[in-house]
Chain A
Amino acid sequence: MSSSVDAHAAPHAARYPRLYINRLGFWLFIFSESMLFAGLLASRFYLLGLYRPPELSQTLGLLITVLLLLSSLTAYLAEAAIVHGDRRSFLRNTLYTMVLGTIFLIGVAFEWNAAFTHFPPSSPFGTVFFAMTGMHALHVLSGIFLLGLIYYNGRRGAYGPDDPWPPEGVVKYWHFVDVVWVFFYAALYLVS
């Protein structure tokens, strides 16, 4: 995730531009990561079939899902802004994304609080529920951290139409985390 000059800069350049190489490596990594989530998803159905406990709060689940999807929109706006050199809009939308992500995490915390009484991690549904939401929350957390980094550097004048990669990579990662949640939301809240 770096377009900064490598210390051992190549004397003869690669045949592909750095941006292309970064994108390829990024997608390969995402491909790999999605296998982790696919495995969790498969485990959920292997262990529980389509079972879903009635105590799950549908309102809260829907609410945080909508918030997360909204954050994908602001993330997209941030990326589009920096590609067109609009730093102010980039910073503003990055901040919105981080805030929405944080609210999402708080929502998950509320979910967990309720889940501990109805289906703790030691119960069958709790096992998959906490593992899936936990693994996903960890990725959201790392996404917020990365957004924080590009916000910090963006404020100091980094990135622009010529150097779009770090924001692009972070935003794509954020989209990926959101897409994962769509699947997880369906698998945890909707099936029955």
Chain B
Amino acid sequence: MKPILKGILGGIVGFAIGVILLMLIRVLFGLPAWSTEPAATVGYLFGLIGWLLGVGVWDYWARGWLGRPNKPYTTTGWRRYFDFDTDHKVIGVQYGVTLVLLFLLAGLLAMVMRYELMRPGRDIINSAVYNRIMSMHGTSMVFVAVAAIMGAFGNYVMPIMIGADDMAYPRLNALSYWFVPPVAIALLIAAFTGGFDTGWTGYPPLVEVTKLGALFYALAFFTIGFASILGAVNILTTAITMRAPGLSWGRLPIFVWSIIGTAILSLLLTQFIALSMILVILDRVGGFGFFDPSQGGAPILYQHIFWFYSHPAVYVMILPAFGIALEIISHFSRKPLFAYKWAVAGMLGVVFLSIIVWAHHMFTSSMTEKLLIPFMISTELISVPTGMVFLAALGTIWRGKLRLDTPMLFALGVIFNFLLGGITGVFLSDVPVDVHLQDTYFVVAHFHYTIVGGGIFGLFAGIYYWFPKVTGRMYNEKLGKLHFWWMIIGFTLTFIPMFWLGINGMNRRIADYSPELGGVNMFVSLMAFFLGASFIVFVYNMVVSWVWGEEAVANPWNATTLEWMTPSPPPHHNFPATPEVVGDPYGYGIPGALHARVGPAPSVASD
């Protein structure tokens, strides 16, 4: 806990230094000393630096820079989860628990929205408050979807899967997690400084003229962007350099491939979300004119920069879920992954195609008309590599010996939901149809089908699949299955009607709608509450099983990949000696097939 206290202290001191420094400079230039927005920005940035210094940078890096020995923390037990701990397994759990909590909180906000939307007209909240709740829900959920699987399983499982003892940069890994608390604080401050009512997309001009909360929205987004860039550097370096001997690219478990694809996207494109937020802050705080037409700026430029990252971000959310789904489907069908190479090619194809489709979010933005058709075609092309991933999933299930445990159910849920999400995406990529459906509930239903139906179902598949590995205990299978069926029924009944609502003209991001849509909205709201309630089962199961669950064996699923060849939970540094990979990861039904050998090797020949 000490690092957190030091971090808080550092944050406060940093904030104060930043504000005072700014005031001095302003006085020096003959400006009035106090101005809220610049003070908030500079204070936040200095506070962020102070927090990072306090929480670990000082003890782990800066002392070394100054020629003194570093002072790593040596906490043990549960306290490690509240420390700047460099073990990738601790960091994975930190990410996982934090983001699941954020998911549940942001889900509660959705419940409030659905309560308001039960009947036409105004019920409990006015439209300004509705907008803020909607924006907070969207922004938080985007943070969850972008970071949850990467943070939790990219950190916890990926290094074990490749036979590494940790990430390539353990300290940097810890650092990127500790960017998360400032994000949470910035969002909290945003909520209490008037909120922001721009949705998660934060389009100018609104984002530049609305309340102070919008500034903190931009700062929060910027911060989490920075963290995910550091994470991507770490993950790619780890995947390239830390693989166990014999683990060639063709033997890599598919989940690792999905993490690599995701990290490539984060690495290359997250800078653009950072840039869009920096430019918004410059406009708002510094009086710049990037997005203000009266100063020669162009609001559409924001949309280009924003979506250049934020469309690929959709694949940052979904690719790891594909990876988890394929991984589980192979193990639970007791069959080698069908068309492994095509699945890998599909994932990488998605990565590269997703960079050239961003403007499909802007068909009605009055951008250059010449761009409409190219972006329509490139968007529709994405269904080809996605289809390859589906091919792998279906080919693996085909004539497999399916074991329908909870992880498998969720994995099949990913495939089923994303099919609907993907197909409805084809309608939206079609320019004439999109002109009609833009900004309606059709869009809402579509992206919830991809991101919740795909990404979040994948997250839960991973949680159940690796729960025994991470906690050393089994979850309650009956409750797990109950959670799955409850969730997928609630999910389907909530979002399928939204497609219909959208086609019939219900606008998104508005607290009201025309009265004849009232009946369906009442139904949707009731189903949304039903869906929300399913997570009570999940939380109960997780908490109770983590504390009192049956002890898990090393390999409860009889799976073949490396993380199951070490005890549950794995010891510090994962394996007693470097494992040696000798075959394909999914050698089911092949006599004598073996993925890897783990054991106290006689002498560890490195390099």
User: Which residues does A use to contact B, with CB under 8 Å?
Assistant: 2, 4, 6-8, 10-17, 20-21, 24-25, 28-29, 31-33, 35-36, 39-40, 43, 46-48, 121-124, 126-128, 130-131, 135, 149, 152-153, 156, 158
Contact = CB atoms under 8 A, between A and B. Distances in A.
Contact of A8 (B65, B170, B296): B170
Contacts of B534: none
B270 A153 contact: no
A17 B234 CA distance: 16
B448 to A, nearest CB: 29
A8 to B, nearest CB: 6
Nearest to B163: A12
The number of chain B residues touching the other chain, given as a range, is: 35 or more
A24 B241 contact: yes
B304 interface: yes
Contact of B573 (A11, A20, A28, A48): A11
A127 B268 contact: no
Contact of B67 (A24, A31, A33, A152): A152
Nearest to B573: A11
A39 B110 CA distance: 34
B67 A47 contact: no
Contacts of A135: 278
Contacts of B396: none
Nearest to B72: A7
B290 A33 contact: no
Contacts of B297: 47, 124, 127
B567 interface: no
Contacts of A123: 289, 295-296
A31 B268 CA distance: 7
A35 B269 CA distance: 7
B28 interface: no
Given A21-B237, A36-B275, A10 B298 contact: no
B245 interface: yes
Contact of A122 (B237, B288, B606): B288
Nearest to A157: B67
A109 to B, nearest CB: 13
Contact of A121 (B67, B168, B288, B575): B288
Nearest to B572: A8
A127 B289 contact: yes
Interface string B58-74: 00010011110010100
B181 interface: no
Contacts of B234: 25
B528 interface: no
Nearest to A134: B282
B316 to A, nearest CB: 14
B607 interface: yes
B271 A36 contact: yes
Contacts of B295: 122-124, 127
B270 A47 contact: no
A31 B241 contact: no
Contacts of B429: none
B134 interface: no
Contact of A32 (B267, B287, B573): B267
Contacts of A15: 241-245, 606-607
Contacts of B286: 121, 130
B65 A46 contact: no
Contact of A47 (B72, B243, B298): B298
Contact of A17 (B72, B274, B298, B607): B607
10 contacts: A4-B70, A11-B165, A17-B607, A28-B267, A32-B267, A36-B271, A36-B272, A39-B275, A131-B279, A152-B66
B83 interface: no
B71 to A, nearest CB: 9
Contacts of A4: 64, 70
A32 B229 contact: yes
10 cross-chain pairs, A with B, having the tightest CB-CB distances, nearest first? A124-B296, A7-B72, A35-B271, A12-B578, A36-B271, A13-B606, A16-B241, A25-B237, A39-B275, A127-B289
Contacts of B573: 8, 10-12
Contacts of A122: 287-289, 295
A152 B305 CA distance: 40
Nearest to A17: B607
Nearest to A131: B282
B301 A47 contact: yes
B520 interface: no
Contacts of B166: 8, 10
B170 A127 contact: no
A39 B272 contact: yes
